[in-house]
């Protein structure tokens, strides 16, 4: 998106706002799908549920981890057969609803979940497929003994699932983890008399936010090599969220005030840390991809400015020492690579500030508002009601 386009959209939509490039997202999903073939892609919608509207068919599956996410899929008209229902706390009512709507694929993360899933399948008469999640040492999934017990329980286990963390930058990790899954699958087949036809693997492939040369192509090729190796004997589905969505978003925020205190420049914007979330950022110490679009050209050399939001907390620092040339109220700051998690992980109720507008952009239709700016004050009050 050009600077002029971002300026015009900020003027039309208002700030702060999120602008997600639907064309770029669809193209990225297709490109990653081609790179990982014969492996396939699953979109972890928690990264950005708004991009579900732009998800191409090349993503064979959508990971859903909550009742709310499931309802979003139903509202979007997503084929239930494309959903894998995951999460550590699947409740009976939600499993029953998913089965009644036609969801086939479920993960199992505990022995209790296995029992509950079996009971719901019997009650509904649903034909389901089960992926048993192997733990990486946290609260998700089970150890090998627990996985083995589920495989012997009579549930229709067809695959294993593993997600061991995010922002991985070492190419060798992908092959090591897939080989671990393959070896476990072989042992389970021999010991439990079942067929493990699928490995669902969350590689957590790294997204570099703070350096221009991120080595993305090398990481993707390493993952693709590991997938091709594993796919010789089993279907491999790679669950990706951040890696697909992050580059496809921009956050627009406007300078509201500038001042200098004790020799340091402070630039106050109408957004804040409740809208901006870069993995690895702490108190604005690292500089993410930011475009400075002044309302008018100004001479001079850039100087370091601390960019802070509108929250009443000293922690509301988006970037420290950002080089800017004479920032003034009305100028725009455009934070790039913000397509993943910022829209879902922000502390939106703090200080009862409004939720930012969200727009999806396509070359054909321009920017379409999919969520207007919304007041949150009524959510923090025992007295007011929505709309008052």
| Domain residue extents for the chain | 3-17+247-378, 22-245
What is the predicted pLDDT for the residue at 348? 87
When the candidates are 3.10.180.10, 3.20.20.10, 2.60.40.10, 3.40.50.920, the CATH number that belongs to 22-245 is: 3.20.20.10
- Collect the ranges in the chain with pLDDT lower than 70: 213, 384-388
Percentage, residues of the chain above pLDDT 90 = 91
pTM: 0.95
What is the predicted pLDDT for the residue at 357? 97
Percentage, residues of the chain above pLDDT 70 = 98
What is the predicted pLDDT for the residue at 386? 56
Q: Does this chain's domain 3-17+247-378 share its CATH topology with 22-245? A: no
Class of domain 3-17+247-378: mainly beta
What is the predicted pLDDT for the residue at 214? 72
Mean of pLDDT over the chain = 95
Give pLDDT tens digits for 96-154: 999 999 999 999 999 999 999 999 999 999 999 999 999 999 999 999 999 999 999 99
What is the predicted pLDDT for the residue at 382? 86
What is the predicted pLDDT for the residue at 358? 97
Give pLDDT tens digits for 171-188: 999 999 999 999 999 999
What is the predicted pLDDT for the residue at 384? 65
What is the predicted pLDDT for the residue at 385? 63
What is the predicted pLDDT for the residue at 245? 98
HEC sequence for the chain: CCHHHHHHHHHHHCCCEEEEEHHHHHHHHHHHHHHHCCCEEEEEHHHCHHHHHHCCCCEEEEEECCHHHHHHHHHCCCCHHHEEECCCCCCHHHHHHHHHHCCCEEEECCHHHHHHHHHHHHHHCCCCEEEEEECCCCCCCECHHHHHHHHCCCCCEEEEEEECCCCECCCHHHHHHHHHHHHHHHHHHHHHCCCCCEEEEECCECCCCCCCCCCHHHHHHHHHHHHHHHCCCCEEEEEECHHHHHHHEEEEEEEEEEEEECCEEEEEECCCCCCCCCCCCCCCCCCCCEEEECCCCCCCCCEEEEEECCCCCCCCEEEEEEEECCCCCCCEEEECCCCCCHHHHCCCCHHHCCECEEEEEECCCEEEEEECCECCHHHHCCCCCCCC
What is the predicted pLDDT for the residue at 129? 97
């Amino acid at each position: 998106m050009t600077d002029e386009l971002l300026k015009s959209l900020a003027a039309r939509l208002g700030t702060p706002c999120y602008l997600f490039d639907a064309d770029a997202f669809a193209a990225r999903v297709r490109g990653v799908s081609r790179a990982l073939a014969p492996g396939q892609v699953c979109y972890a919608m928690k990264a950005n549920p708004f991009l579900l509207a732009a998800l191409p068919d090349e993503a064979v599956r959508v990971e859903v981890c909550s009742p709310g996410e499931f309802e979003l899929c139903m509202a979007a008209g997503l084929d239930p057969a494309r959903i894998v229902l995951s999460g550590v706390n699947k409740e009976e009512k939600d499993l029953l609803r998913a089965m009644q709507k036609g969801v086939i694929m479920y993960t199992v993360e505990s022995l209790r979940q296995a029992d509950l899933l079996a009971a719901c399948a019997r009650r509904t008469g649903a034909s389901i497929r089960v992926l048993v999640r192997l733990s990486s040492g946290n609260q998700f999934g089970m150890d090998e003994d627990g996985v083995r017990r589920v495989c012997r329980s009579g549930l229709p286990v067809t695959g294993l699932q593993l997600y061991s963390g995010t922002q991985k930058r070492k190419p060798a990790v992908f092959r090591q983890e897939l080989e671990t899954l393959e070896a476990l699958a072989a042992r389970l087949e021999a010991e439990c008399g079942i067929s493990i036809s699928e490995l669902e693997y969350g590689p957590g492939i790294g997204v570099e936010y703070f350096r221009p040369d991120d080595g993305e192509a090398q990481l993707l090729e390493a993952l693709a090599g590991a997938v091709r190796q594993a796919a010789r004997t089993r279907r491999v589905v790679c669950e990706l969220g951040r890696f697909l969505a992050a580059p496809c978003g921009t956050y627009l925020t406007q300078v509201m005030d500038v001042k200098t205190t004790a020799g340091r420049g402070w630039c106050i914007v109408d957004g804040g840390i409740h809208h901006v979330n870069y993995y690895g950022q702490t108190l604005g110490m690292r500089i993410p991809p930011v475009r400075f679009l002044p309302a008018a050209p100004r001479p001079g050399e850039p100087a370091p400015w601390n960019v802070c939001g509108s929250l009443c907390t000293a922690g509301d620092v988006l970037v420290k020492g950002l080089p800017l040339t004479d920032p003034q109220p009305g100028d725009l700051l455009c934070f790039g690579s913000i397509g993943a998690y910022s829209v879902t992980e922000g502390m939106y109720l703090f200080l009862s500030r409004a939720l930012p507008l969200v727009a999806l952009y396509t070359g054909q239709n321009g920017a379409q508002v999919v969520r207007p700016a919304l007041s949150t004050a009524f959510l923090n009050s025992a007295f007011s009601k929505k709309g008052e």
